[in-house]
Amino acid sequence: MANPLVKIAVPLAGVAAAVVGNKAAQAGWGAVFGEDAPTVKAAKSSRKETQKNRKQAKKDGLTKAEIQEIKDPTQDQPIWKALLWTLVSGVVLQGLKLAAQRGAQAGVEGLTSRRPRANRG
């Protein structure tokens, strides 16, 4: 990897593959399960929404028991879904990223390498 174009193209291909793969995985999760993928961002927004709902319930004058019944829906998620998302977002996306990096390296090296002189016999 002495070529500077290869040094630039390989990380960019990895980042692009990771972004596209993550978006595709989240869209696929939504299509299969009909819910948002259990990402860190989704869990954080769900936690904030639950806190907001509890605060509103307190303002509305609900009892402490009723406020405690307002639960975060991400806590009720089955463990197999969390494990499946970990597998998809970790192993599959890492493999996609690695394949994109190797493909970019081979492609850019092929484009930028010098061809040998023609054999003129």
Question: For 61-85, what is each residue's pLDDT tens digit?
Answer: 888 888 888 888 888 888 898 889 8
Domain of residue 54, residue span: 41-75
65 & 10 share domain: no
Fill in the DSSP letter of residue 88. I
Return d(Cα 61, Cα 64) in angstroms, integer.
Answer: 9
Banded pLDDT at 48 (limits 50, 70, 90): very high
Domain match, 100 and 53 both: no
Residue 117 has pLDDT above 80, yes or no: no
- Tell me how far CA of residue 4 lies from CA of 51, 97, 113, in angstroms: 50, 20, 12
60 lies in some domain:
yes
Residues 2 and 54 in one domain: no
Work out the average pLDDT over 2-22: 86
Distances in Å between the alpha carbon of 12 and those of 44, 73, 97, 104?
A: 29, 37, 10, 9
